[in-house]
Chains A and B, each alone.
Chain A
Amino acid sequence: AQSVTQLGSHVSVSEGALVLLRCNYSSSVPPYLFWYVQYPNQGLQLLLKYTSAATLVKGINGFEAEFKKSETSFHLTKPSAHMSDAAEYFCAVSRGSNYKLTFGKGTLLTVNP
């Protein structure tokens, strides 16, 4: 069975600081990996996805994530946080042949002025 672990349910950074949100996955076969963002009172929106092409994936709003098979990780980063980045971020995994997308518990990002 596939699963996703997001380390840290809450991350707080200062505006302009590096954002690092951690995600580790377990999957018996090469997975498809995703990061989604949920702003208050909204649905989820795709930030980026890894589908076995380049291991460094660039997404929207300056975010990127690196797939590291040896570490089974897919951490999300952004060099400089902006106030508008405050939201909840979800890592998700799919095997491709499996029809369901499995989400992590989410990490709430707070950006302090």
Chain B
Amino acid sequence: DSGVTQTPKHLITATGQRVTLRCSPRSGDLSVYWYQQSLDQGLQFLIQYYNGEERAKGNILERFSAQQFPDLHSELNLSSLELGDSALYFCASSDDDRGRVTGELFFGEGSRLTVL
């Protein structure tokens, strides 16, 4: 058990819909990362938050947004969903100082999104 909790584990929805994925980081970790894993693209970094502030952006679509709340949990919002958004979405957390990736990322088990 990594200590990172993601909900829901599975989600099936239709094109055009909006979903919210939730992540609770390990106790004490200030950084939260979101990754998308798909067969064709592999593991793609989406976005990182550190102590409530956006710290880095990767290949995140404009239809996607995220935030980190004062209690440090994070949500990833996916809107106007398309078939190609079907993927496994991972949240990870770390205690790295100021967001420097010099240490270990602790991954949740992922949220599997299926868009029909």
Q: Please list the residues of chain A having a beta carbon within 8 angstroms of any beta carbon in chain B.
A: 32, 36, 41-46, 49, 51, 90, 94, 96-106
Contact = CB atoms under 8 A, between A and B. Distances in A.
Contact of A100 (B101, B102, B107, B108): B101
Contacts of A32: 101-102
B45 A100 contact: yes
B45 A101 contact: yes
Interface string B92-107: 1000000111111101
Given A100-B56, A105-B42, A46 B105 contact: yes
Interface residues of B, number: 24
Given A94-B102, A99-B101, 12 more contacts: A41-B109, A43-B90, A43-B110, A45-B2, A49-B104, A96-B101, A98-B101, A99-B48, A100-B33, A100-B58, A105-B42, A106-B43
Interface of B: 2, 4, 33, 35, 42-43, 45, 48, 55-56, 58, 90, 92, 99-105, 107-110
A36 B45 CA distance: 15
A60 B33 CA distance: 24
